[in-house]
Each structure stands twice: as C-alpha cells, then as structure tokens.
C-alpha cells in the first residue's frame, strides 16, 4: 500500500486493518468488508472530491497566472500582440477555462458536503449496530450465567 492509502485507512473511525486481519483468520472477510463499505464509501468520495478540488484550484491558479502574464505581455509590447494571438494560451480561452473551474469548484463543494452527511449517517448506523450487538451479547452472557447458576 502507498503511504497515502495507509494514512486513509489509519484515519478511518474504526481499525480497518485489524477487522480485515480477523476476517481472514475466521474466513469472514467478505461480510466484514460488506459492513465497512457503507461508512467508508462516503468518506472516500469526500477524499476524492477534496483531491479533485485541490487540483482544480491549482489549475485555476496556473491558468490565472498564464492569463495575467499574457495580458501583461500584450499590454507592455504591442508588437508582440500578433505573436501572442498565435499562441495557444490566449487570455480569452484561459479566462473561459477559469470560469468553468470556478463552477466545478462550487459543485464539488456541494458534493463534499453531501459526502460528509452520508458519512455521518453511515457512521451512526455502524455505531447503532455495534451498540445493539453489544447489548445482545450482554443479554446472552447474562442468560448463560443464569443457566449456569440454576444448575
């Protein structure tokens, strides 16, 4: 695994690697993965959106830099205007791309918020399931203790 993948797994709200290790030992890996997918999928989606948002911001900053440099060059030297127009990085094209990046960034922020909400909901489901399983285990242990005492 890459250091980035390890960091993601370590940031999970439960010990993913320990759960998988125990699943391999008891041959219950598939159901364990099935249980972990629901709470992890939204946070993984959030992380993907966050990486994409970071890349968009970087691309937008670079395109803005090209836009400003090209505009300055055009204004500073009218003789280079013809050569500049022949280049692929025209300020109008870069400005249009920048507007698209800004729209995409707004969408990604919305999707990030949704992913966070889904993550919180899934985590609550997992916590409720764990609490229920613990209460069932305690009830079973009390029952077994009572049976043992009655003998």
* pLDDT of the residue at 23: 86
| Structural domain includes residue 102 | yes
| Structural domain includes residue 151 | no
pTM: 0.53
| Structural domain includes residue 149 | no
Domain that holds residue 54: 3-142
Token pair for 87 = 């280049």
| Structural domain includes residue 147 | no
| Structural domain includes residue 63 | yes
Give the span between the Cα atoms of 80 and 68, in whole angstroms. Answer: 15
**pLDDT digit string, tens, across residues 10-38:** 777 778 888 888 889 988 888 888 888 87
The number of folded domains in the chain is 1
* pLDDT over threshold 70, residue 79: no
| Structural domain includes residue 124 | yes
pLDDT class for 94, splitting at 50, 70, 90?
Answer: low
* pLDDT of the residue at 134: 85
DSSP assignment of 94-125 equals: HHHHHHHHHHHHHHHHHHHHHHHHHHHHHHHH
């Amino acid at each position: 695994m890459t250091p980035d993948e390890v960091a993601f797994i370590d940031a999970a709200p439960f010990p993913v690697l320990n759960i998988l290790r125990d699943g391999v030992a008891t041959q219950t890996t598939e159901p364990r993965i099935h249980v972990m997918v629901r709470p992890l999928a939204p946070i993984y989606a959030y992380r993907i959106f966050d990486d994409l948002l970071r890349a968009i911001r970087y691309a937008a900053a670079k395109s803005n830099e090209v836009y400003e440099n090209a505009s300055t060059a055009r204004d500073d030297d009218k003789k280079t205007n013809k050569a500049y127009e022949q280049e692929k990085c025209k300020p109008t094209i870069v400005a249009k791309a920048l507007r698209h990046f800004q729209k995409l960034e707004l969408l990604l922020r919305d999707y990030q918020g949704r992913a966070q909400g889904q993550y919180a909901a899934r985590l609550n489901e997992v916590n409720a399931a764990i609490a229920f399983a613990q209460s069932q285990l305690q009830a079973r242990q009390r029952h077994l203790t009572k049976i043992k005492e009655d003998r």
